[in-house]
Amino acid sequence: MKIAFHTLGCKVNQYETEAMKEEFLSRGAEIVGEDEAADAYVINTCTVTSVADSKSRKYIRRMKKLSPDSVMVVTGCYAQTASEELEAMPDVDIVIGNNLKSTICEEVMNALEIRKTGNETDTETRVLTFSELVGY
């Protein structure tokens, strides 16, 4: 499984992206450059300005064009504050807020397995919410 990452924003996002990479590597994934075809792309977003939001959307579209069958994951502050907007984007497969970044590897692996086996017919965007995870 090939995974590419793109990080926008602060040093915290940079650190968290490195931690996500380590998690994927520990599960046998190959980390590839962000401009290479990958099975999944993880975009760790920022939303400090509308320019940051725009950069995130442009990157999502560009990566999906490069690899149309890839799983597109959006996380970070933009995903946290505008999950409905991202969910409406046809290029986005999974939206994960900041509080659930630790679940990204598992969610990506599940999505790739579903695509490989075709065991699930629901192809709508998967949005993880805090209440869903803790059972509220």
CB atoms within 10 A of CB 57: 19
| Residue range 87-111, pLDDT digits in tens | 999 999 999 988 889 899 999 999 9
- pLDDT, position 127: 58
**CA gap 102, 19 in Å, rounded:** 9
pTM: 0.84
> pLDDT means per 10 residues in the chain (136 residues)?
93 94 96 93 90 90 91 94 92 92 93 82 50 41
- pLDDT, position 120: 57
76 Ramachandran zone, left/alpha/beta (phi>0; psi -120 to 50): left
Which SS3 state, helix, strand or coil, does residue 34 take? coil
Q: Alpha-carbon torsion 129, 132, 135, 136, what sign?
A: positive
Residue 23 has which token pair?
């998690």
